[in-house]
Structure 1
Amino acid sequence: MNLSFFDQFTSPYLLGIPLILVATLFPALLIPSPNNRWITNRLTTLQLWFFHLITKQLMSPLNKNGHKWATILTSLMIFLLMINLLGLLPYTFTPTTQLSMNMALAFPLWLATLLTGLRNQPSISLGHLLPEGTPTPLIPALILIETTSLLIRPLALGVRLTANLTAGHLLIQLISTATAALLHTVPVVSILTMVVLLLLTILEVAVAMIQAYVFVLLLSLYLQENI
């Protein structure tokens, strides 16, 4: 029974072909593309307003040198947001519950911010490894600690996103299984668990949006240190 709870995190297959690529690319098809009309419709206007709001929020802590990252960070935010929310629908698959995919997103982007800092301002980037005013006996230990914290950042990004989404999905499946099992035996308790399931689903929608925002916000903060 415990194994069936984790079956939702395995990539579905069709004729022996994994469908994780379809699950990854499908959300992009739901975003309406702008047309050539001078006056846009309500949906396109709302979409442009939402994209502008996200871009403004992500670019606010960065200077002008970091604004060239606006397209990458905003696209990543929309990508994660759509995948996380669509993964809450029944009979769907959430690619961001896979640690391999989250690490494939976190590591290259973190490395790009690090290489940007080493190329443009190597002294300042390396200076983050040793806080100012550190006593001489503590210098080797602090450099080691700061280097470890620097190298663990992409792992923390990927694990945070994976753990939060996986825990939420497991709780939803556990409570929904309990609700279905108690429906014919103890209907009153089943109604209570159904209310808990509804509240947990609302919470998981909020977690899906917040984790997408936190993932991209941390990347923008890492970029802020290196520009």
Structure 2
Amino acid sequence: MTLNLFSQFMSPTLLGIPLIIVALLVPWLMFPAPNTSWITNRLTTTQTWLMKLLTKQIFSPISINGHPWALMLTSLMIFLLSLNLLGLLPYTFTPTTQLSLNLGLAIPLWLATVLIGLRNQPTTALAHLLPEGTPAPLIPTLIVIETISLFIRPLALGVRLTANLTAGHLLIQLVSMAVQAIFFTYPTISALTFFVLLLLTLLEVAVAMIQAYVFVLLLSLYLQENT
């Protein structure tokens, strides 16, 4: 039973080729392509408006030194958003349920923000490890705690994204199995359970969008501390 539930999180293969590669390439096809015409279609206009809105929302509180990261973080958010939503379709695979992929995105970007802070403003970056006004006996303990807190950030980023999507997918599968199991025995209860399944699916769509936004928002906050 457990193997059947968790088999949906295994990377599928076709003719020995991991299909996770295809899943990672599909979202890039949804990016708006450059267009030289004066009048664009509605899809491109909507995509451009959404990207501008998200970029303004994330980078408005960040200093001008962090604005060169706008293209990277906006692309990352659209990439994660596309992966999360496409993974909700039947017979698809969600790469963001893999902790290795999420950590592979979180660790390099977090490390880049830390290195930028150490290069541009080393005193301010190191000052985050010791709050102002700390009593002298607590200084060694607080430095150790803040250091651990600093290094646990990328792990928290990856685990948060993985856990939320995995829990939602498992819950949807469990409820759908219950609907199928009691369909002929208790049709009324099955119909009510199916309605709950629809609400749960809408909730999972919201979670998929929110988690992509939260992932990039936290990275932008780390960037704000170091620029």
**TM-score (structure 1 length as normaliser):** 0.98
1:69 paired to 2:80:
no
Partner of 1:220: 220
Partner of 1:19: 19
CA apart distance, 1:17: 1.6
Checking the alignment, whether the CA contact within 8 Å between 2:130 and 2:146 is kept in structure 1 is yes
Identity %: 73
1:106 paired to 2:106:
yes
Amino acid paired to 1:107: I
Partner of 2:83: 83
Q: Between Structure 1 and Structure 2, how many residues are aligned? A: 227
Q: Which 4+ stretches in 1 moved above 2 angstroms? A: none
Task: Give, in whole Å, the separation in 2 of the partners of 1:73 and 1:35.
Answer: 22
Partner of 1:185: 185
1:1-227 equivalence runs, <5 A: 1-227=1-227
Checking the alignment, whether the CA contact within 8 Å between 1:27 and 1:79 is kept in structure 2 is yes
Checking the alignment, whether the CA contact within 8 Å between 1:85 and 1:209 is kept in structure 2 is yes
Task: Give, in whole Å, the separation in 2 of the partners of 1:34 and 1:155.
Answer: 36
Amino acid paired to 1:49: W
Deviation readout 1:86-132 (Å, 9 max, x if unpaired): 00000000000000000000000000000000000000000000000
Deviation readout 1:7-38 (Å, 9 max, x if unpaired): 10000101112111111111222334232211
Amino acid paired to 1:18: P
Amino acid paired to 2:122: P
Task: Give, in whole Å, the separation in 2 of the partners of 1:9 and 1:190.
Answer: 26
Give the superposed CA RMSD.
0.8
Task: Give, in whole Å, the separation in 2 of the partners of 1:125 and 1:78.
Answer: 29
Task: Give, in whole Å, the separation in 1 of the partners of 2:133 and 2:163.
Answer: 37
Checking the alignment, whether the CA contact within 8 Å between 2:77 and 2:212 is kept in structure 1 is yes
Task: Give, in whole Å, the separation in 2 of the partners of 1:115 and 1:122.
Answer: 9
Q: Which moved more, 1:8-17 or 1:153-162?
A: 8-17
